[in-house]
Amino acid sequence: MAPRVLAIVTKEFKDSIRSRWLISFTVISFFLVIGLPFVVAYALGMMAPGIETLISGTTQVVFPFLPLIALPIGSAAIVGERDRHTMELLLAQPISRVNIFVGKFVGIFLAVATAILVGMGVAALIIMEVPTIQYFYVIGIAYVLTAAMLGLAFLISVVSKDRNMALGIALFFWFLFAVLIDMGFLSMIVTMAFDPVYMIPIVVANPLELVRQISTYALIMTPKMMANPISLGQLGLAMVKVFGASGILPFLYTSMTAWVLLPLIGSFVLFIRKDV
């Protein structure tokens, strides 16, 4: 990595890692994963922590907070520099816009990734002593969701007129993904009014739901469960109908890849072409 890019990465990492949003998320994610009542019950010998329970709890409870961290922090990356009139100074240096963009994105991503690893990883160490490969896979999925949300946040940051506007749009998207496009509510409506196949576009439109489904089908669903309509549910049956049992994960992976790449490429192109 070029020294100038590394300098930007280091600066963005240090600035982001000290963010109150990020510190709060680290603490909250730790306690959400560890689940204090769950730990008390386990200490009393009432139940043992199963990896399926931990994965399900993490994806349902912790994952909705990831966009709430990545979106606000990333949305200030470009427009914040413009508001402080430091972008002109940065561009006046012998460094390209490409290096500025890459340095900012990588630095913020590493900061959020560190918070995820500390919050979720330490909690998993306490619960399981030796985290399994499946749980590291969950952390990897969390990183993918973070990359997608940062790409969207950078796109918001590039097109916004000021920092307040960027933050407002970022919070709207979090509300959209975490509340408005919620499969528990929308799937009931769609199933009642339409063919369950129409739930598939809802999944694609929500990266938060995509990573939940990836976690479920990659780590929890066994071949025996895949053959059970009750285990699959309406959405699972619809995806089996359209893609086949073996095509569900490739479809989910492809959709999530698009969520990572398209906003990131869009924000990159606009930043390169847009005047300060």
Q: What is the pTM of this model?
A: 0.87
pLDDT at 143: 96
- Check residues 49 and 208 and name the one with the higher pLDDT: 208
The helix/strand/coil state of 129 is coil
pLDDT at 40 exceeding the cut of 60: no
- Residues in CB range of 93: below 8 A, 6 or more apart: 4
238-265 residue pLDDT tens: 888 888 888 999 999 999 999 999 999 9
pLDDT at 272: 92
116-138 residue pLDDT tens: 998 888 877 777 655 578 888 88
pLDDT at 108: 96
- Give Cα separations from 38 to 56, 58, 59, 64, 161 (angstroms): 14, 13, 16, 20, 46
The helix/strand/coil state of 5 is helix
Taking the C-alpha atoms of residue 142 and residue 208, their distance in angstroms, rounded to an integer, is 10
CB 113 within 8 A of CB 146: yes
Enter the tokens of residue 214. 């990836």
pLDDT at 90: 85
pLDDT at 192 exceeding the cut of 60: no
pLDDT at 44: 55
The listed range with the strongest mean pLDDT (28-37, 50-59, 91-100, 255-264) is 255-264
DSSP 8-state class, residue 50: -
Taking the C-alpha atoms of residue 4 and residue 6, their distance in angstroms, rounded to an integer, is 5
CA-angle at 51, arms to 47 and 53, nearest 5°: 65
pLDDT at 190 exceeding the cut of 60: no
Taking the C-alpha atoms of residue 168 and residue 147, their distance in angstroms, rounded to an integer, is 20
Enter the tokens of residue 66. 């990831």
Range of lowest pLDDT (53-62, 102-111, 162-171, 238-247)? 53-62
Enter the tokens of residue 232. 């699959």
Enter the tokens of residue 159. 């097109």
